[in-house]
Amino acid sequence: MIETALTDLWYGFGVALQPHNIMWCFIGVLVGNMVGVLPGMGPLATISILLPLTFGIKPVGAILMLAGVMYGAQYGGAICSILLNLPCHPPHAVTCLDGFPMTKQGRGGVALGLTVMASFVGASWGITEMIFLSPILVRVALEFGPAEICSLMLLGLLAGSTLARGSPLKGVAMTVLGLMLGIVGTDLETGAERFTFGMTHLDDGIELVALALGLFGIAEFMNSINQVVSINAAYTNVRLRDMRPTKADVKQAIAPMFRGTLVGSLCALIPGTGPTIASFVAYATEKKISKHPEKFGTGLIEGVIAPEASTHSSVQGDFIPTMSLGIPGDAVMALLLGALMIQGIVPGPQLIKEHPDIFWGLVASFWIGNILLVLLNVPLIGIWVKLLTIPYKYLYPSALFFVCIGVYAANNDMFQVGETVVIGILGYVLLRLGFHPAPILLGFVLGPRFEENFRRAMLISRGDILVFLERPISAVFIGLCVLLIALQIYVRIRGSKPPIEIPTVLEGAE
């Protein structure tokens, strides 16, 4: 088994090392790193803006680039958290707790240097996990019938909406709203037009890019305009030689690094628990096993390294269900899956077999991308730090233009730019009412496939809804769903509070 995995990986490196694929990967991680550093811009918005521009390139290059944006942004987000105390992206919120105190003590450079190291170790472990677990999962998943796929999707949707931030009820409501938005347009089986309200432009359904940019672009700008806290750039003059940790630092960082990696990879295996939860769990674990827990928050290396390693290990691990089962764990994964679907690739267990170049190329490119990121982050730290000081008043009008042209370029259709504006208003209203719009995307991407499989399962079982409980694998998934709901109710009744104080995160910028 190890042998086949290594042969496949070798093949993957062959794909990823083709010059144009390296180029796309490089562009992806560069843009991602840049955007991750910019306060107030999330990887979701960036991937959606770049999405229409990838229609022209081959699927492999497109997915390498978009995935590169995603993990590149993770590296950039850490810089923002450690030097500015600004948790631009939720997974890095805990990094602020000990990262910024380190910066104040003049050890910000060391924190950054060790973070790059921890990120690489975490990511490498996540990739290894992906290489060995995905083929096993696929072998199991190929036996699934429509009933199993349906229950699995249900589990994925429930986990994605209840385990994310905010109230679980609101999360589920957003997922259902997403499913509904996914239904808009012509029904594939009967040709009936649903919820188009007579607009022929909506016959093909709502455009993924328009939805994502409305929710995470326009709504986000409306939320942050004239609200952005003034940036404290007092500690941002970090130079390359400040980043070199001492031997004692490295020694202190190694154990938390591996513990964080382990936590992250475990979190990645539970559907719906993305990098944000992984980083919180890793921080809490470090604090619990530490001999001097009271010192956390004053600039301990452990408090920076463990969450960063776990974030990266879980980000890579999140690709496992996305690529091998076709079930995304969070909104970013949903968007990447959407990108593949636009390229005409059907997600699901058959993906690895039918498109080995995409899967193994992606795996290999993770390593190449992560090495590129280490190379980019160490010598270019000065440039990234400069980017931190770009004021929001220049950032959002430029980003707004990118949103417009991005949506237009998707289908050369001005109607969809208008669609984005409407979705943006809706997204802002939802944000103000305390909803997190990320699960909408999850429901939207899975919606059509969920309906298709549900119909098929019902047809095969002759309309017997109990089929979901009679088939053993499906029953396990349904059981997990029930367990998840029961757990949420239990937590709610007990009214437990999260164990650590969370610094305020810029809303929705995940």
Closest CA to 114 of 252, 233, 234: 252
Q: What does the alpha-carbon distance between residue 430 and residue 167 come to, in Å, rounded to a whole number?
A: 13
465 binds other proteins (CB under 8 A): yes
Contacts 24+ apart (CB under 8 A), 164-169: 164/272, 164/274, 164/276, 164/330, 164/436, 164/438, 164/439, 165/90, 165/276, 165/436, 166/434, 166/435, 166/436, 167/434, 168/488, 168/492
**Shortest Å distance, C-beta 190 to other proteins:** 5
390 binds other proteins (CB under 8 A): no
225 binds other proteins (CB under 8 A): yes
* Contact with other proteins (CB under 8 A) among 21, 33, 420, 488: 420
Q: What does the alpha-carbon distance between residue 409 and residue 430 come to, in Å, rounded to a whole number?
A: 27
435 binds other proteins (CB under 8 A): yes
* Contact with other proteins (CB under 8 A) among 353, 393, 479, 483: 393
Binders of other proteins in range 31-70 (CB under 8 A): 53, 56
233 binds other proteins (CB under 8 A): no
Number of residues that bind other proteins (CB under 8 A): 61
* Contact with other proteins (CB under 8 A) among 13, 269, 378, 451: 451
20 binds other proteins (CB under 8 A): no
Q: CA distances (Å), 52 to each of 31, 46, 249, 424, in order?
A: 15, 11, 44, 18
Closest CA to 121 of 290, 326, 367, 358: 367
* Contact with other proteins (CB under 8 A) among 198, 344, 463, 472: 463
Closest CA to 131 of 5, 219, 37: 5
**Shortest Å distance, C-beta 312 to other proteins:** 31
By beta-carbon proximity to other proteins, the closer residue of 70 and 154 is: 154
By beta-carbon proximity to other proteins, the closer residue of 49 and 323 is: 49
3-class SS at 180?
Answer: helix
466 binds other proteins (CB under 8 A): no
From 122-130, 327-335, 367-375, 398-406, give the range in contact with other proteins by CB under 8 A: 398-406
Backbone angles phi, psi at 189, to 5 degrees: -85, -40
Give the per-residue SS3 of 252-316: HHHHHHHHHHHHHHHHHHCCCCCHHHHHHHHHHHHHHHCCCHHHCCCCCHHHHHHHHHHHHHHHH
Backbone angles phi, psi at 434, to 5 degrees: 85, 20
Q: What does the alpha-carbon distance between residue 45 and residue 169 come to, in Å, rounded to a whole number?
A: 25
* Contact with other proteins (CB under 8 A) among 5, 254, 405, 502: 405
397 binds other proteins (CB under 8 A): yes
3-class SS at 193?
Answer: strand
195 binds other proteins (CB under 8 A): yes
190 binds other proteins (CB under 8 A): yes
417 binds other proteins (CB under 8 A): yes
Q: CA distances (Å), 330 to each of 66, 93, 186, 271, 314, in order?
A: 15, 18, 26, 9, 12
* Contact characters 158-177, other proteins, x per CB under 8 A: ---------x-xx-xx--xx
Q: Are 278 and 311 a contacting pair, CB within 8 Å?
A: yes
From 287-295, 300-308, 379-387, 451-459, give the range in contact with other proteins by CB under 8 A: 451-459
Strands 185-186, 193-194: pairing kind: antiparallel
* Contact characters 117-156, other proteins, x per CB under 8 A: ----------------------------------------
**Shortest Å distance, C-beta 89 to other proteins:** 22
Return residues touching other proteins (CB under 8 A): 53, 56, 167, 169-170, 172-173, 176-177, 179-180, 183, 187, 189-190, 192, 194-195, 218, 221-222, 225-227, 392-394, 396-398, 400-401, 403-405, 408-409, 412, 414, 417-418, 420-421, 424-425, 428-430, 432-435, 451, 454-455, 458-459, 462-465
